[in-house]
Amino acid sequence: MVGVELTSAPRPRPSASEIDPDAKESLGELATLADSAGAKVVGEMLQTRRSLDSATLVGSGKVEEIKARSEADDAETVIFDHELTPTQLRNLERRLTLKVLDRTQLILDIFARRARTSEGQLQVELAQLNYLLPRLAGRGTQMSRLGGGIGTRGPGETQLETDRRRIGRRIAKLKAEIERVRANRGVQRSQRQAVPLSTVSLVGYTNAGKSTLFNRLTGADVLADAKMFATLDPTVRQIRLPSQRRVLLSDTVGFIRNLPTTLVDAFRATLEEVTAAALLLHVADVTSPVVAEQTSHVLKVLGEIGAEGTPQILVLNKVDRLNATERAQDLETLTHRLLGETARQNATQAVLISAQTGEGIPELLGAIDRNLRQDPVERQRFRLPLGEGRALNLLHDRAAVLSKHYGEDYCEVVADTPQSIRERLAEFAVD
């Protein structure tokens, strides 16, 4: 694995302790991605330079060093922690005589492995083709085909041009199919909105524990794995809040730093579930040494998809792994120390939880209840005739019943009731 740390001014070669922690963290994240893709990392190199080399990203001297190191470690592939241009990719493959990948290709490969639904596979293929199209250059006239008929001149149409046209047609077809998926999702969303069920979406950095939290809240069995992007296809389940309101909880793909633009564009149909949500649960791993940077990357992607204005609850996960000193801190101090002021200002509330042990889950459900604006809950008194068993059952099922009192021919109920239920039982309401 090869990373590059850019500096604004010339300086002597830094020691390992002087290298920017963010650059080392990014390279460590690349190692986790490589492991998720099934690769075994045998070595890493981090270069410090003022600017990226236009021909090889790292410069000719470093390329020779990478080649020698790769031969010594018997490596089969070199992965760069930057997106390579077509020229850089071609030059590196020629000089290293090894398979060369960049960060984007690695993420695309993981996505291709994890996509299970037809929608996910369509989106991954679109992202792969958009990435491949500008990188077809390099095929010469040896792959050309002669044109037939009178008046043919030159070698005719090259294989490169044929490939480009074929990929272009496939991209157009994929976009049309994804638009149909998007339309279907819109219909499903409008049908869900016809019933007053709010949607709450889990967002967060990949591997922050979103799927574990989703399983904890819904009782589902979505794959929860330490590998990155273990969950790719969106999943929606219904949960019940303390007020007895029912809401839909959706689990979506995790975000990551330098998320390829092609992926953001291709997965826009899936990410619309996030933009349509009434509330976001922004899950952050409190044990990560770079949780502030990860939170910042998530907020950046939310801004790119137009969801930055959606109310958020900051869910600080893995609290069970904090030491006694950290757990003794009050929530405000801990949140500010971990995330800084910017990330904290984007959330209406912060909650400490452990999705693994269940600690803090009741507080999280209460916070969701308080922050949902759709179908608001108010305390209401109802006087129900004794024959209205259906109305009483509805209150027990969809509201939080606080007290019941029976008279001769009626039952008086006090309940914290969602607006939709208050409207259905308006004839029995008592001021």
How many Cβ atoms are within 10 Å of 371's Cβ, its own excluded?
Answer: 18
- How far apart CA 366 and CA 364 sit, in angstroms, is 5
Give the span between the Cα atoms of 412 and 428, in whole angstroms: 9
Residues in the chain: 431
List, in order, residues 6 or more apart from 263 with CB less than 8 Å away: 107, 108, 111, 127
**Each residue of 56-76: b (16+ CB within 10 Å) or e?**
bbbeeebbeebbebbeeeebe
Q: Indicate the class that CATH gives domain 196-371.
A: alpha beta
Report how far residue 244's alpha carbon sits from residue 416's, in angstroms, rounded to the nearest whole number: 9
Angle between helices 291-304 and 331-345 (to 10 degrees): 30
Q: Write the DSSP string, 359-386.
A: TTHHHHHHHHHHH--SS-EEEEEEEEET
pLDDT in tens, the chain (431 residues): 999 988 865 555 544 444 455 778 888 888 988 988 889 999 999 998 889 999 999 999 999 999 999 999 999 999 999 889 889 999 999 999 999 999 888 888 887 877 777 777 887 888 888 888 887 765 444 444 444 444 444 454 566 778 888 888 998 998 888 888 777 766 766 665 555 578 899 988 877 888 889 989 988 665 555 455 555 556 788 898 888 888 889 887 677 776 666 666 666 656 767 887 889 999 999 888 888 888 888 888 888 878 888 889 999 999 998 888 877 777 777 777 777 665 555 667 889 999 999 999 999 999 998 888 777 888 999 999 988 888 998 888 888 889 999 988 899 999 988 888 888 899 999 87
C-alpha distances in angstroms, 361 versus 37, 201, 241, 274? Answer: 32, 16, 11, 22
Contact predicate 321/332, CB 8 Å: no
Sheet of 99-102: strand order equals 45-49, 2-6, 77-80, 99-102
Q: Output the CA torsion 245→251→254→259 (10° steps).
A: -100
CB atoms within 10 A of CB 310: 18
Task: Please indicate whether the domains covering 2-109 and 196-371 agree at the CATH topology level.
Answer: yes
- Rg, Å, the chain Cα set: 27
**3 state DSSP class of 393:** helix
Rounded CA-CA distance 205/215 in Å is 17
Question: What residue segments make up the domains of the chain, in order of their start?
Answer: 2-109, 196-371, 377-430
Just give the CATH number of 2-109: 3.40.50.11060
C-alpha 47/C-alpha 62 separation (Å) is 8
Quote the pLDDT of residue 299: 85
Q: Please report the pLDDT score of residue 371 as a whole number.
A: 87
